């Protein structure tokens, strides 16, 4: 998993560095956020976690701080900051005792530490897709997409979603709550619907699939 996190963050850095400065103020599908804001949030999360600033991660207050602290920065500055934080992050996570991974997360004991670390990978992938969509680039369909599907499945299982089997194109089968009703189709569409970025009715699902909405 640690290699996956670092690889995804490396791809995110390269993506940010490739974006034309004129596109930094382009709107994204994250309501009210520009390309710069989304990039700054991902960079800020990695920097915060590396520095041990864990409280409130993922909340609107913290994500807004991460964005606002970096609103004057260009693409190279954002990418450089991320690249500087990646080695100490990997070293810090790699030094954790193996038994801690199955234990509770330091920020939310509802989830395991392993799930919380996986969230870094998931977040970089999903927000990378937000940037690609905003500037007209094709989606990435690598290990990050696999991670995102599995992470969403973990959220759905934790909230007691209906027993479901995901048989999505090109990916191994994923069982939610022991498996049950099958969902097939494009894995990226599934992730976008599950994160509020695509109308779930477009893939024959309802709003209960949205992991960010209480149903």
Whole-prediction pTM = 0.95
Percent of the chain scored above 70 by pLDDT? 99
pLDDT at 71: 94
Identify any residues that bridge with 165 across adjacent strands, giving them in sequence order: 175, 182
Helices (H), 95-142: 113-135
Give the three-class secondary structure for 183: strand
What tens digit of pLDDT does each residue of 162-195 get? 999 999 999 999 999 999 999 999 999 999 999 9
Asked if residue 144 lies in contact with residue 11, where contact means CB atoms within 8 angstroms, the answer is yes
The C-alpha atoms of residue 68 and residue 52 are separated, in whole angstroms, by 20
What tens digit of pLDDT does each residue of 62-85 get? 999 999 999 999 999 999 999 999
Q: What integer is the mean pLDDT of 132-136? A: 98
Of 51, 53, 47, 118, the closest CA to residue 84 belongs to 47
**Domain ranges across the chain:** 2-104, 143-209
Of all helices (H) and strands (E), which one includes residue 176? strand 174-176
Residues in CB range of 95: below 8 A, 6 or more apart: none
Give buried/exposed letters for 110-135 (b at 16+ CB in 10 A, else e): ebbbbbbbbbbbbbbbbbbbbbeebb
Identify any residues that bridge with 175 across adjacent strands, giving them in sequence order: 165
What tens digit of pLDDT does each residue of 150-159 get? 999 999 999 8
Percent of the chain scored above 90 by pLDDT? 87
pLDDT greater than 60 at residue 132: yes
pLDDT greater than 70 at residue 124: yes
The C-alpha atoms of residue 74 and residue 55 are separated, in whole angstroms, by 27
The residue length of the chain stands at 215
Q: pLDDT band at residue 214, thresholds of 50, 70 and 90?
A: low
pLDDT greater than 60 at residue 212: yes
Q: What integer is the mean pLDDT of 185-207? A: 96
Q: pLDDT band at residue 105, thresholds of 50, 70 and 90?
A: confident
pLDDT greater than 90 at residue 108: no
Query: For 2-104, CATH number?
Result: 1.20.120.450
pLDDT greater than 90 at residue 8: yes
pLDDT at 101: 85
pLDDT greater than 60 at residue 215: no
pLDDT greater than 90 at residue 107: no
């Amino acid at each position: 998993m640690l290699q996956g996190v670092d690889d995804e963050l490396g791809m995110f850095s390269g993506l940010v560095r490739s974006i034309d400065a004129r596109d930094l103020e382009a709107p994204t599908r994250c309501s009210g956020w520009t390309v710069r804001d989304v990039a700054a949030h991902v960079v800020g999360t990695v920097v915060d976690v590396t520095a041990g600033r864990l409280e409130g991660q993922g909340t609107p207050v913290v994500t807004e701080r991460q964005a606002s602290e970096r609103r004057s920065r260009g693409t190279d500055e954002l990418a450089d900051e991320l690249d500087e934080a990646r080695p100490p992050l990997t070293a810090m996570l790699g030094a954790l005792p193996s038994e801690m991974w199955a234990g509770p997360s330091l920020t939310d004991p509802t989830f395991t530490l392993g799930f919380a670390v996986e969230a870094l990978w998931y977040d970089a992938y999903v927000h990378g897709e937000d940037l690609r969509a905003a500037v007209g680039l094709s989606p990435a369909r690598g290990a990050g997409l696999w991670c995102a599907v599995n992470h969403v499945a973990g959220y759905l299982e934790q909230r007691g979603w209906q027993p479901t089997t995901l048989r999505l194109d090109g990916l191994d089968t994923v069982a939610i709550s022991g498996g049950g009703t099958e969902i097939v189709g494009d894995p990226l569409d599934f992730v976008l619907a599950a994160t509020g970025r695509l109308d779930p009715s477009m893939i024959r699902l309802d709003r209960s699939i949205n992991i960010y909405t209480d149903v």
